[in-house]
Amino acid sequence: MSVELLEVREHMGRFAPFDTLSDELLDDVAQHVEIAYFKAGADIYHYGQAIDELCYIRQGAVEIYRRNGELYNRLGEGDIFGQFSLLRNHPVRFPSRAIEDTLLYFIPAEVFRRLCEQDDNFADFVELERPRLEATVEQYRQSNDMMITRVRKLITRRPVMIEATASVQEAARRMREENVTSALIYEASTNADDVEARHTFTDSQGMNWTLIGILTDVDFRNRVLAAGLPAELPVVEIVSRPPRTIQSDESIHEAMLCMLRNNIHHLPVLHRRYPIGVLHLSDIVRYETNSSLYLVNNIFNQTNDKGLAQLSADVRAAFVRMVSEGADSRMIGSALSTIGRSFTRRLLELAEEALGPPPVPYCFMALGSMARNEQVIVSDQDNALVLDDRFDAERHDDYFAALAKHVSDGLAACGYSYCKGNIMATNPRWRQPLAVWKGYFSDWIARPDPQALLDSSIFFDLDAVHGEEAFVEQLQDLVAEQAAQSPTFLAAMARNALNRKPPLGFFRGFVMENTGEQKNSINLKRRGTAPMVDLIRVHALACGSRAQNSFARLDDIAETQLLPEGSGERIRYALEFISMVRIRHQALDIEAERTPDNNIEPENVSSEERHNLKEAFLVLSNAQKFLGFRYPMSRSR
Amino acid sequence: MLSFRLDNSPHRNWPDYLAERAATARDPRLQRYFSAGCPAPGSSIDDAPLLALDMETTGLDASRHAIVSIGLVPFTLQRITPGAGRYWIVKPPRPLTESSITYHHITHSEVEQAPDLNDIVDELLEMMAGRLVVAHYHRLERAFIDSAFEARLGEGLRFPILDTMALEAKRYRHSWRAKLASWVGKTPASIRLQDSRDRYGLPAYTSHHALTDALATAELLQAQIAHHHSPQTPIESLWV
């Protein structure tokens, strides 16, 4: 390939969807590229113009407009346009203009078609919405951690090393002292060229040693006691050799296969030739078991608030691990919510120990993300107390006020900050008997006032955490029965769900608003997951779903005809994708020792992620438009 | 009988010159090339078939130094087609000196295996036929090609060239504004290829190579016309 085509090829090879093309296809593209320069302000394609090329921005910036002149997109270096007209074989619907001096590469239609036919990735990329988001979400799910996490991550201690000349008894004593089930046996290296050379290593004194084998608990039984050998025997006589070893940068999966293939439970781990540890089969089993279970166990073992607060670092570690292992947002949300609920329950148990048993039965109720099982690492506490109807404020409220304060302060110490809207059991308004709660919900549903509902929409995600769960179940039933019957309530909820709109996409280091305004960062919760959750909730209420989790709600919605064909799946993938971007950025924040938040800065978003986010925003935007149309405000109001 | 000035100053009766050479050329390849002529002087640059040309030489003096590589990229004001570009390393009659090797990124062995210019004359002239050549600094190209052909075929080769450097100079060196700036002590704008490209927002290319530079020159001309000239500009006011 000639050198100026290499310039073309090398540039395109850095940008999606060309970055994943085979060399052969990329050569094909570069070979057929045509180039043209457009001065700032020059039109590139007019409405209705015939188009038989895909456009690639080599340098500069281009704006795409809707037919009414509204800005549709702003594109920069490495972006493409024209694919939609090419795919549908129709003339240009969205005109384009250079807004800076711009150099464009044109890829002829027949090359474009060849790429779509021969490369699925490319085809997915240039198709609209679902296929690509779906493919991306599936891809994350499949990149199982065992395949990518390296063995060295599981090594927690240095290996116990015993010289070959030591007696069996000395070896057993060392292993007892060190509390290990295996030791590595080594001897002075005599001949660097011998067959064991690959297990020869040099210690810090410059001595050469050879790892000759591994000694495990079982060997003492099978090779010494059962064989009637004396304890004075040098270990070299009983050691299994040559040792099977694994390099520290191999995957955990590879280590597991190695153990299964050789039917061994201990595997020495080497960094180059130097032994750095021994992996036991149980390490892998433990690793595979969700670590949040251990954390939950640990929460219930704490005997005071201080101990609980100290676990918040573990919560973060468990979160980062789940992310790096490729868990999806539903797994992470449910694990973190389980952890949050466990903290709450343990705090309630401790409070009851301090305050005595409750004077009347109660249920501690979670609201918002914890009720939906969608908590992330940045979470406020939103909770309330539903009390038995025998509750008498005069006599009982001191107890429940103290209980609520204990839990709320305890949660704050564990990293769940106080709710800014004061939706907490410490607020007397949200510490009421069941009958009052029923009145609250009936009133919200029967006389919906959008402004009032704005503050109370969080109550429509509700779940029991501790105590008389039946109280909260009654409230869930009430909501499921009444909400679906009240079009005005649904319309008011729908209207509120449209308050927060997604941005248009990204341009260079900025977030692009629909107005063309550029911002430095975007709050992915406020502009992405929250409006998505809001609109799912409206549909769920409309179909009488009792589910609280957004994905479970989508399952219920799918049973009905509320959404157009395919729309529910698009919403599911878009929610999953935005949630995972938010979660991954929080994990990155934690790893970089920054305070995790809901903001992402465009410079930290890969170009592939940008493309997918833009499409997820588009799904959200379309779903919002549909919502307004599906649940209109009645004219009488 | 027409007479032609053989120095580098512009002359605008190129069609006549080419017709005359077509009639008198002894080498059939040159004869074919000259017969193809060039776009009419009054035709607009918008319609002209163009050919960006860049070459690398062992030095700056056409009488002592030689061509080592030639890059060609055909284009129009609408489109550049790099895939149709051509590139040759040619073996200079005089061996490469050490210093010129580091400058050109071309190695001895590449040059040893390269053809003589004579062997590529066919293809070179075929690419050039009927197209208006565009180069950044025409004096070098003109002098080297002319003397290389003179040495091999006994007949020189001259043709109209559209010089992107001259277009930049006219605007950034010779305009009254540029002169005023230099009187008040401002450093004059650089008219080297990459510096010129920077002014039009064109990317920096990493390699310095006759073919990349030919592509860079083609892009520069598109930008210059887009910014400072009408696409209807007659080519006789642009070529030299």
Q: Give the residue from chain B lying closest to A32, CA to CA.
A: B83
HEC assignment per residue over A519-586? ECCEEHHHHHHHHHHHHHHHHHHHCCCCCCCHHHHHHHHHCCCCCCCCHHHHHHHHHHHHHHHHHHHH
Shortest CB distance from A34 goes to which of B80, B211, B226?
B80
Of A277, A274, A276, A271, the C-alpha closest to A201 is A274
Q: Over the stretch A286-329, which tens digit does the pLDDT of each residue have?
A: 666 555 666 777 788 888 888 898 888 888 888 888 887 777 88
Q: Which residues of chain A have pLDDT under 50?
A: 129-130, 142, 144, 195, 636-637
CA dist A221 and A437 (Å) reads 67
Tell me which chain A residues have a C-beta less than 8 angstroms from the C-beta of B211. 2-4
Q: Give the residue from chain A lying closest to B76, CA to CA.
A: A36
Of B160, B167, B141, B142, the C-alpha closest to B220 is B167
- pLDDT attached to residue B10: 47
CA dist A255 and A451 (Å) reads 59
Q: How far is B232 from chain A (nearest CA, A)?
A: 17
CA dist A140 and A608 (Å) reads 13
Q: Over the stretch B103-151, which tens digit does the pLDDT of each residue have?
A: 556 667 777 778 888 889 999 999 999 999 999 998 888 999 999 999 8
Please give the C-alpha separations between residue A588 and each of A144, A341, B27, in angstroms, as whole numbers.
Answer: 19, 25, 71
Q: Are A239 and A185 in contact (CB under 8 A)?
A: yes
Q: Are B143 and B151 in contact (CB under 8 A)?
A: no
> Nearest 5°: CA angle at B83, between B78 and B86?
105
Mutate which of B70, B86, B211 to test chain A, going by most A C-beta atoms within 10 A?
B211
Question: In B, what residues contact A, Cβ < 8 A?
Answer: 71, 73, 75, 78-83, 85, 87, 200-203, 205-207, 209, 211-212, 214-215, 218-219, 222-223, 226-227
Peptide linkage before A428 cis (omega within 30 of 0): no
Mutate which of A37, A44, A105 to test chain B, going by most B C-beta atoms within 10 A?
A37
Q: Are A65 and A95 in contact (CB under 8 A)?
A: yes
Average pLDDT of span B7-35? 83
C-alpha count within 13 angstroms, C-beta hemisphere, residue A587: 19
Tell me which chain A residues have a C-beta less than 8 angstroms from the C-beta of B203. 11, 58-59, 103
DSSP string, A408-474: HHHHHHTT-BPPTT--STTSGGGEEEHHHHHHHHHHHHHS--HHHHHHHGGGGSEEEEEE-HHHHHH
CB contact under 8 A, A39 and B202: no
Tell me which chain A residues have a C-beta less than 8 angstroms from the C-beta of B229. none
Token couple for A281: 């089969």
Q: Are A534 and A496 in contact (CB under 8 A)?
A: yes
Q: Give the residue from chain A lying closest to B212, CA to CA.
A: A4
Shortest CB distance from B79 goes to which of A36, A40, A60?
A36
Q: Give the residue from chain A lying closest to B216, CA to CA.
A: A4
- What is the interface pTM, i.e. ipTM, of the complex? 0.86
Q: Over the stretch B168-193, which tens digit does the pLDDT of each residue have?
A: 998 887 777 777 777 666 777 788 89
- pLDDT attached to residue A140: 53
Does the pLDDT of residue B93 top 80, yes or no? no
Token couple for B124: 């070179």
More confident residue, A263 or B74: B74
Is A265 exposed, middle or buried (CB count within 10 Å of its CB: 0-12, 13-18, 19+)? Answer: middle
CA dist A364 and A423 (Å) reads 13
Shortest CB distance from A35 goes to which of B79, B205, B214?
B79
> Nearest 5°: CA angle at A105, between A102 and A107?
150
- pLDDT attached to residue A126: 82
CB contact under 8 A, A2 and B85: yes
- pLDDT attached to residue B4: 42
CA dist A465 and A472 (Å) reads 9
Tell me which chain A residues have a C-beta less than 8 angstroms from the C-beta of B212. 3-4, 7
CA dihedral A432, A437, A439, A444 (to 10 degrees): 120
Is A557 exposed, middle or buried (CB count within 10 Å of its CB: 0-12, 13-18, 19+)? Answer: buried
CB contact under 8 A, A35 and B227: no
Q: How far is B62 from chain A (nearest CA, A)?
A: 26
Average pLDDT of span B188-212? 86
What domains, with CATH codes, occur in chain A?
3-127 (2.60.120.10), 151-287 (3.10.580.10), 296-440+464-469 (3.30.460.10), 495-630 (1.20.120)
CB contact under 8 A, B83 and A100: no
What domains, with CATH codes, occur in chain B?
14-237 (3.30.420.10)
Please give the C-alpha separations between residue A549 and each of A355, A371, A560, A586, in angstroms, as whole numbers.
Answer: 34, 8, 17, 21
CA dist A137 and B213 (Å) reads 44
pTM of the model: 0.63
Tell me which chain B residues have a C-beta less than 8 angstroms from the C-beta of A5. 82-83, 85
- pLDDT attached to residue A393: 93
Shortest CB distance from A37 goes to which of B85, B209, B223?
B223
Q: How far is B84 from chain A (nearest CA, A)?
A: 8
Confidence of residue B19 (pLDDT cuts 50, 70, 90): very high
